[in-house]
Chain A
Amino acid sequence: MEAVVVKNLTKTYGKEKTVAVDDVSFSVNKGELFGLIGPDGAGKSSIFRMLTTLLLPDGGSASVDGHDIVRDFRQIRSSVGYMPGKFSLYQDLTIEENLHFFATVFGTTIEENYHLIQDIYVQIEPFKNRRAGKLSGGMKQKLALCCALIHKPTTLFLDEPTTGVDPVSRKEFWEMLKRLKEQHITILVSTPYMDEASLCDRIALIQGGKILSIDTPQNIVNAYPDRLLAVRAHEMYRLLKALESYPAILSSYAFGEYAHATLADTDTEALQAYLRGQGLTGVEVKDADVTIEDSFIKLLH
């Protein structure tokens, strides 16, 4: 069963017709945790806003729970949950007041769906009389998720929920999403963080309004065509320069404390010798585990 179906969706902005979303198609199964992974400006938010009926597409079509995003926008609005990229709750209302307000606006009560938010809400409940504007980034995120969940949505749209949140809170947030999946809620989440991609059931890598690849994170990693090497030396900048000038190099880029590189041949000994010949010290070359980020970079070129 498909919860979200997107067909050839296109969105342009302004008089210059800047293309934000370019002929995008994908579908999300019921109960799936689907990730849209891509850098800022890739078109993730535009896709989310079209699916939540906030924007009209310029081309193509899409449906959420079988409802057309243009024609049946009312049904979609009452059945989905949406958490915009920017923190969008009332800063001068307390945690409890925010939650109560959104529950009432959606025609429900906190008590009725408390079981859905319980896990998350208990963490912020000690501060329920604190105003939302005075919360930390992680707590704001939890509150926003509670507010988006309180009406038991069939599909949840989370636009960059972990941007600007500390690593510990990010980890907690993803654990919460996993638990929500058990409640059979379809979740679409967008993020610029590649390391979060592996936590999704399936992902779509997106850049410049176009989808580069859609698959499970494992399959995307497995589909990496080349042998990926991790190279290290004492001086990173000179190492990168040297890699670029190596005759058999296909690609090279900094990746944490290593440089990742792919070669046209398989001769790692020759590479080591070349780098030492360039005067680099502490040279180390080994096989690297392919990550989503490597796949993404590969797809970009």
Chain B
Amino acid sequence: MKQFLAFVRKEFYHVLRDRRTLLILFGMPIAQILIFGFALTNEVKDSEILVVDYAKDNASWELLTKIGSSRYFNIRQAALSHQEILSTFRQGKIKAVVVFPEGFNEDLLHHNKAQVQLIADATDVNTANMITNYLSSIILDYQNQVNANLQMPYRITPEVRMLYNPQLKGAHGFVPGVMALVLMLVSVMMTAISIVREKETGTMEILLVSPFKPVLVIFAKAFPYLALSLVNVTAILLLSVFVLDLPVKGSVPLLFAESTLFIITCLALGIFISIKTESQQIAMLISLMGMLLPTMMFSGFLFPIENMPVPLQVISNIVPSKWFYIIVKSIMIKGLGISMLWKETLILLGMTLFLLLISLKSFKIRLQ
């Protein structure tokens, strides 16, 4: 036990004395959360909207104020012809145009029917969809407000509720994704590199010629990274709660327990890579290419798995981060408990045991 502790302490010295390692360990998760949280968002904020108001009456003014007061749009008034609208679009400064025809208010009051034209720049399909949806819902909202006093027969109002994420915040999907990514990177790459480094510098030779059990060398090296990864989980959760306003709906202890399980999966993977490679560069390459890419592609965090061709969907099942992503998403956003997640947990547990087993089996107690 004393030997184990001395080993763990030595490992902490390595980490804390190497600036690059420290930067990767703690700089990366924070940077990723902030980048995904603020820069790479697919929310539509402060979009420039051009308004061409031929009506200039009460109703059009009321509707405009409503659009303008939403934090999604910045309104620019202009009296333009249709031709000019197109050329403004080409300059790329505006995202959409709202056109009120003449006599908007009249039509609304007397014919019970009025038209508004929405023109959106669909070069970016997602943004165009989102903007027209927002605008339509604001218009619908106004219509309901006007109709509140009138009795209209036969009216179907679809009441849409965006469950778990009513404000359609982008942060919801990516926090679990970033968590899987960061843990994968820290645990797999760092462990693999740190074990291979001992091989490269020759210290492994001395450690092998010692009474210290070789298997314990491996565990003693993995242990500090488990601790550091848990610090990372905490940091990511704190950032998501206090900076991104994304609370953890489910049980925090359960979230930590599942994270620990996933970290151990990653550590086992890292150990396996370190056993099979001889240089730090190769270990790093394999960790990056073999672990990071599948995590990005197959966890469902950037690309929905349901949209992939069937063979890729099958492959995604062997990527541990996919299961972890599902678990974290369910706990953080849906607030589900272990009774709903036992299946995913069991799969992850199985993967971990399998990886640990083959790592221990292929571990060499000699140089060759």
Contact = CB atoms under 8 A, between A and B. Distances in A.
Interface of A: 49, 52-56, 73-74, 77-78, 80, 82, 84, 86-93, 97, 100-102, 104-107, 147-148
Interface in B173-229: 201-203, 205-212
B208 A97 contact: no
B6 A88 contact: no
Given A55-B368, A88-B202, A100-B6, A106 B211 contact: yes
A54 B13 contact: no
A104 B9 CA distance: 11
B211 A82 contact: no
B208 A77 contact: yes
19 contacts: A49-B367, A53-B209, A54-B366, A77-B208, A78-B211, A80-B209, A89-B206, A90-B10, A90-B201, A92-B13, A93-B10, A101-B6, A104-B2, A105-B3, A105-B207, A105-B210, A107-B2, A107-B211, A147-B206
Given A84-B205, A88-B203, A92-B14, 14 more contacts: A49-B205, A54-B209, A54-B366, A73-B365, A77-B208, A82-B206, A84-B202, A86-B202, A89-B206, A93-B13, A102-B206, A102-B210, A106-B210, A107-B3
Contacts of B211: 74, 77-78, 105-107
B306 interface: no
A97 B209 contact: no
Name the residue in B6, B210, B365 with the highest tally of chain A Cβ atoms < 10 Å from its Cβ: B210
A106 to B, nearest CB: 6
B205 A104 contact: no
Given A90-B10, A92-B18, A97-B13, A54 B208 contact: yes
Contacts of A55: 366-368
Interface string B25-36: 000000000000
Given A86-B202, A89-B203, A104 B6 contact: yes
A151 to B, nearest CB: 8
A54 B205 contact: yes
Interface residues of B, number: 24
Nearest to B14: A92
B7 interface: yes
B206 A92 contact: no
A208 B273 CA distance: 35
Given A104-B3, A105-B212, A97 B10 contact: yes
A209 B273 CA distance: 34
A130 to B, nearest CB: 13
Q: What are the 7 A-B residue pairs with the smallest beta carbon separation, nearest first?
A: A88-B202, A78-B211, A104-B6, A82-B209, A86-B202, A54-B367, A92-B17
B209 A88 contact: no
Contacts of B17: 92
B206 A88 contact: yes
A147 B10 CA distance: 15
A278 to B, nearest CB: 52
A105 B1 CA distance: 10
A69 to B, nearest CB: 11
B279 to A, nearest CB: 15
A77 B13 contact: no
Nearest to B365: A73
Contacts of B13: 90, 92-93, 97
Contacts of A93: 10, 13
A88 B204 CA distance: 8
A78 B209 CA distance: 7
A92 B16 CA distance: 10
Contacts of B205: 49, 54, 82, 84, 88
Given A86-B202, A90-B10, A105-B6, A77 B209 contact: yes
B209 A52 contact: yes
Interface string B341-368: 0000000000000000000000001111
A100 B13 CA distance: 13
Nearest to A153: B209
Contacts of B10: 90, 93, 97, 101
A235 to B, nearest CB: 45
Interface in B217-247: none
A242 to B, nearest CB: 47
Contacts of A97: 10, 13
Contacts of B368: 55-56
Contacts of A52: 209
Contacts of A74: 211
A88 B201 contact: yes
Nearest to B368: A55
A102 to B, nearest CB: 7
A286 B208 CA distance: 53
Contacts of B6: 100-101, 104-105
Contacts of A105: 3, 6-7, 207, 210-212
A171 B289 CA distance: 50
Given A77-B209, A105-B212, A106-B210, A90 B202 contact: no
